[in-house]
Each structure stands twice: as structure tokens, then as C-alpha cells.
Structure 1
Amino acid sequence: MSRYYFDLLDDHILAVDEEGLELPSLQAAQAEAAKSLADMARDAVHGSSAVAGKRDMAIEVRDAAGPVMQVKFTFEIERSKH
């Protein structure tokens, strides 16, 4: 098993994962990142930050050797002008 770290990037705010998770494979790390990113997106839509505009979120996955992947999500809210 390898330890993977999941750094959260919400627009330009970075939260570095200092603990990480022991996971059996890179595929398991990808699944964990995708699940976490879906949770971030859901919280953003339901939270006070759901205002018109574009929002970029990502989870940057790394192991002891460095970055291994980035899972990204972008959503945009456009409101009609009437």
C-alpha cells in the first residue's frame, strides 16, 4: 500500500493534506479524489458561495515521489438578465 496525499484547490485557495491516506493502488486514489471532489462541488452549490460566475475546483493527488494526478471540476452559473 502507498500513502497518497490529497491537496484541495478551490479557485486559488490551496489546502495541503499533511496526513494522507494509505490506499492499495493509484486507481483507489483516483476514486477517492473523485468522491471528495464531488462532495466539494455539492457543498459549494448548496453553500453561500453559489453565486453567478465560474468556479474551479481540483484535487491534486501526490505520493512520496511527487504529483501523480489532478482531478478537476469547473462549474459556471449564468443568470438571465430579466
Structure 2
Amino acid sequence: MPKYFFDLQDPNGRIVDDEGTELPSLDAARNEARQTIGEAARSLMARGADGRIVVQVRDRNGLLLTVRAEFETVDN
């Protein structure tokens, strides 16, 4: 089974995944990246933070895909 690495960039900094996760396909890795970005966004928003989150998915050969989310709170 292929191993995928999920690097996370958020307003607090960058976390490089050195361990990786074995998943059956790139589609499964895409879904994992989307779930990861959702959890990170919820965590930041719960603390009142705004910003941008990026999850980059790579395998041992290099970058495969990037998932981005930006969010802000606007008082009207």
C-alpha cells in the first residue's frame, strides 16, 4: 500500500509529516487531506483565529496535491 505524507501550514507555522500514512489510493489521500484541513480550521476558529490553512500531500517521489482553505470572521 502506498505511503502518503501530509504537510500542514497554518497561521501557527508549518508541520512536516515525516512518518506518513499508508492509504490504498490517491483518492483516499485526497479525502484524508480534506478531513485534516476541516479539523484544523475548526480548531483555529474555536480559538477565534482567522487565516489560511494548506495541506500538501506527497509521496516519496514528491508533491501530489495541495488543499487550501481560507476563512475570516467579519462583523457587520
Query: Would you call these one fold, judging by a TM-score over 0.5?
Result: yes
Residue 66 of structure 2 corresponds to residue 70 of structure 1: yes
The alignment-based identity, stated in percent, is: 37
Tell me the C-alpha RMSD between the 2 structures: 1.4
Which entry has the higher C-alpha Rg, 1 or 2?
A: 1
- Tell me the distance in 2 between the aligned counterparts of 1:72 and 1:12: 15
Q: Deviations over 1:49-75 (max 9, x none)?
A: x24xx5110100000100000011000
In structure 2, the CA distance between the partners of 1:12 and 1:39, relative to structure 1 (3 Å rule), is closer
Give the alignment's TM-score, normalised by structure 1.
Answer: 0.85
Deviations 1:35-57 (A, max 9, x none): 0110001101112xx24xx5110
Separation in 2, partners of 1:14, 1:60:
11
- Alignment match, 1:20: 20
SS at match of 2:34: helix
- The structure richer in strand per residue is 1
**TM-score, with length taken from structure 2:** 0.91
What is the match of residue 43 of structure 1? 43
Please, which of 49, 55, 58 is the counterpart of residue 54 of structure 2? Answer: 58
Question: What is the aligned length?
Answer: 76
Aligned to 1:79: 75
Gaps of 5+ in 2: none
Q: Which runs of 5+ in 1 are unaligned?
A: none
